[in-house]
Amino acid sequence: MKESEIRNASIHDQYLDMVREDALAYFSDPDRCEEINCPACSCDQSVYEFEKFGFNYDLCPNCGTLFVNPRPKLEYLEDFYVNSPSSRFWAEEFFKPVAEARREKIFRPRAEHFNNLITTEDQIIVGDIGAGYGLFLEELSKLRKNVQPFAIEPSPEMAAICRAKNFEVLESIIEKIEGYDSSFDFLCSFELFEHLHTPETMLIAAFNLLRPGGSLLLTTLNGQGFDIQLMWEKSKSVFPPHHLNFCNPDSLSFLLKKVGFEVLEAETPGVLDWDIIEGNIKRDQFSADRFWDSIADHASIECKQDLQSWITKHKLSSHMRLVARKPIQS
């Protein structure tokens, strides 16, 4: 898989320009933001790293989490997601043209991996937190006839799309769902965690919705991953106020255990790290250093493939996946 197959470079750059403009317009008033401790381990000794789009990123010296601090207060962040031009552009212009490519390259493999976690033929209830267009639930339903899919989706537009696909829909953020405690066998959350104002609150809500023995599959960005570490503030994955939290396998595992989960898997199965770096070097004239520039210009395809395999194997990809279980006796 190549980055260009799931993201149009020019549209992506246009989107990031809009995010920058929106961020500066929405959050120029410092009273709209608030100081926080580390969202993973609650350490209050974070150290300033860099500024981007008017926001500061701090690094936690205890667990290595990179995070926006101060960050938008929840009410202003929610308004930003609903009303900002960049948010509408993402849904209408950025995602739609690559939706089917993402189905094939991302959501179908995710459904196949998720399918391998299911060991029963009994009827099971699966909830997708932030279901969006419902692509994952569609693919999972093709593989499993014993799945009752629930789309947990606060956007009225996305919720309507999921209803049209005959999914059960909870039109709400997960933190505000009532009446479904201990109802779900599986929950999944894809690329949502990095957006959350208070990640621990979301995990507590997920824990409460799961039945004892139920599992959570979570994917998010790894702040200690190769391309993010190499590019740091220049990384296109770093764009506030959308991406607020960059945990790592250890810090996110710590937070999951703090909430009460048992962590079954903490991997970085990403395959795009080198492709992202090479694209930035060749297309955007990003210069990492002489060594990486030389790899981009002169190394063989086999060398680059081996490099990516090494990154993935050693949990150094910027895309991470965790599987956690609610204990049968909690």
CATH number at residue 114: 3.40.50.150
Asked whether residue 130 is domain-assigned, the answer is yes
pLDDT at 157 over 90: no
Give the residue-averaged pLDDT of 134-154. 94
Which DSSP string do the residues of 161-173 spell out, in sequence order? HHHHTT-EEE-S-
Cα 5 off chain centre by:
19
Asked whether residue 22 is domain-assigned, the answer is no
Give the residue-averaged pLDDT of 245-262. 98
- Give pLDDT, residue 293: 92
Work out the angle between the directed axes of helices 199-209 and 249-259 (0-180°, nearest 10).
50
Asked whether residue 124 is domain-assigned, the answer is yes
As a whole-number percent, the residues of the chain with pLDDT over 90 amount to 82
Secondary structure of residue 309 in the 3-state scheme: helix
Asked whether residue 125 is domain-assigned, the answer is yes
Asked whether residue 296 is domain-assigned, the answer is yes
- Give pLDDT, residue 330: 52
Per DSSP, helices labelled H in the chain are 3-6, 9-26, 74-83, 85-89, 99-102, 108-117, 135-143, 156-164, 199-209, 226-231, 249-259, 273-283, 290-298, 301-313
Domain span holding position 268: 100-325
pTM score of the predicted model: 0.94
Neighbours of 251 (CB within 10 A): 24
Out of 72-86, 143-157, 278-292, pick the least confident: 278-292
Mean pLDDT of the chain: 94
Give the residue-averaged pLDDT of 269-276. 95
Predicted confidence (pLDDT) per residue in 45-83, tens digit: 999 999 999 999 999 999 999 999 999 999 999 999 888
pLDDT at 329 over 80: no
Asked whether residue 159 is domain-assigned, the answer is yes
Which of 139, 129, 138, 146 shows the shortest CA–CA distance to 165? 138
What type of residue is 258? K
- Give pLDDT, residue 82: 84
Asked whether residue 133 is domain-assigned, the answer is yes
- Give pLDDT, residue 9: 85
Asked whether residue 181 is domain-assigned, the answer is yes
Band the pLDDT of 286: cuts 50, 70, 90: confident
Q: How many domains is the chain built from?
A: 1
- Give pLDDT, residue 187: 97
